[in-house]
Structure 1
Amino acid sequence: MEELLKATIDTAVSSKAVRPAEFERVIVDTTVQEKAIAHPVDSRLLEIARHKVVAAAKRAGIALKQTFVKEAKTLRRRAGGYAHARQFKRLRKVLKRQRTILGIVLREVQRKIGEARHEASAAALSNLQTLMQRAERMRRQRPKDKDKLYALHAPEVECIGKGKARKPYEFGVKVGVAVTHRQGLMVGARSFTGNPYDGHLLAEQLQQVRILTEDTGARLKQVVVDLGFRGVDAHNPGVQIIHRGKFKSLTALQRHWLARRQAVEPAIGHLKQDNGMERCWLQGATGDALHAVLCAAGYNIRWLLRAIVRLALGGLVVPLFAALVMLLHLLAVASGVGKARAFRAGCAAL
C-alpha cells in the first residue's frame, strides 16, 4: 500500500506541483487512529464475553447446564442504572456477580471441551479456545491494571490518554504523520503498536519518509516537531531536530521554521474528517497499518486535485487517474475481489 502513497508523491513532483527541495524539511506529529469498538465498559465487556463463549460452545456441540441468559440481562440493566446514579458500591456488587457467572461458564466449557473434540470441527474448537482465553483475561483484569483487553474482537486496541475534558482517553493505535513544511503534502503515515513514547518512534517514521521520497532526489535535513520528541537527537544522526525546547539556541531562520510546526494539526484534522482515519474498521494490527497509509494516500489525492485547480495543471490529470487506477487495483487485491468489479465500483464512486 505504501507504493500508492509513493505514487501520489511522485505525481506531485513530476507535475511540478511541489519542488523536490521541499522534501528536505518536514513536520512530524502523532495522533490516535481509533478502532471501531464500543466504549469499553466493564459490565458490557463481561456480558459480551459470556454471550460469545456460550454461542461458540453451542457451535462446537457443547451443551451447557446453565447459560445465565435471564440473570445476565437483568445484571446488565442494573449496572447501567447504578452507574448512571453514581451508586458505585452497588455497581461493584453487580460486576462481581457478572465475573462469577463468566467464571462458571468458562469452567463448565473447559470440563466438557474434551468430549466435543471428536464431534466439532477444528475451526470451531480453535475459535472457542481463543474466545475462552480472551474471556478469562477479561474476567481477571481490574480497572487499574495495565495491558487491558478492551474488545474481544480487537485485542490490539490500546488506551491512549488525550487529556481533553470532553474525551480524556482514546481507544485505538498511535499513528505517526509527516507532512512537508511548506505545502503540507503527506510524505509519511504509519501505525505504532504498544503506545510508544513519541521520541522513540521518530527514527522509524523518518525511515519511511526517506523511502517514500527517495525518487525525488532530495535528502531529509530538518524535522520540526513538538516537545514530545525531545531527547532523541543521538538516535537520529544526520537530521536536525527542531522543537520549542531549543528555542534560545535556534537561529532566526530556525525560529521561523518552528512557527509553522502547528501546520500539521489541520492536516491531521482533514486526515480524520475527510479521509476516514477517525475510525478504523479493518481487522488486526495489519488492518491498522493499511488503513493509516490508505488515508494518507486519499489525503494526497485530494491535495493533487486542489493543485490542478490552483495551478491549472492539465497534464496532472493523466498521472492522477493512473494513481486512482492503482488504488483500485491494490484494494481489489487486498479484499480478494476481482479487478473489474473493483474498477466498476470505483468509477461509480467517482
Structure 2
Amino acid sequence: RPGLPVRLIAGLLYLKHAYDLSDEAVCERWLENPYWQFFTGEVVFQTRFPCDPSSLTRWRQRLGEAGMEELLAHTINTAHAMKAVDARALSRVIVDTTVQEKAIAHPTDSRLLEVARKKLVRLAKRHGIALRQTYARQGPALSRKAGRDAHARQFKRMRQVLRRQRTLLGRVLRDLQRKL
C-alpha cells in the first residue's frame, strides 16, 4: 500500500488545529468540503475518506512537537515568500483571549488556609525543623469538608470548619516560631 502524501497529512493537521476538530471530524469535513480537498492537493472531488483517522494520530506522534513547529515555520516562510504576509505582521503576535476559558481557581478561605499550612510545613522540613504535628491528614480533609458545606449552603457548619483550619494553621505557625 503506498504511503499518504505529505501535503495531504500536513493540510489535514493544519485544518484540524485551525478549526479545533477531532481526527474523525476533520476527515468527515474534508469529505464534504471541496475547498479543503483542493487545499490538501486534490484536483478532483473525492467521495472517500482521505485516510483513516488513526493515520493522523500516527503522523502526529511521528512528527513530534519539534516536527509540528518546523511544519508551522515552513508554512509561515511560504506565506512570506508568496507575499501573503509581510514581515511587520510576523514581528508581533496579538492573542485575543477574551473568549477562552481561564482555569483559575478562586481563592477561597479554605484553600488559602490549606496552602499556607502546607507551605509552612514544607518550609520547616526544608530547614530541618521537626514540628510537633503537621496535620497532613486533617488539613486536606477539612478543606474538602468546607467545600462540601459551601456547596450544600451550610454556611454555619462551613464557618466552624474554617475556624478549625485557622486554629491548625496557628498551631503550626506558633510551633515553627517557637523553634526558630
Whose relative contact order is higher, 1 or 2, with alpha carbons under 8 Å and at least 6 apart?
A: 1
Q: Which has the larger radius of gyration?
A: 2
Bigger strand fraction:
1
Q: TM-score, structure 2 length as denominator? A: 0.43
Answer 1 or 2: which has greater helix percent: 2
TM-score (norm 1): 0.24
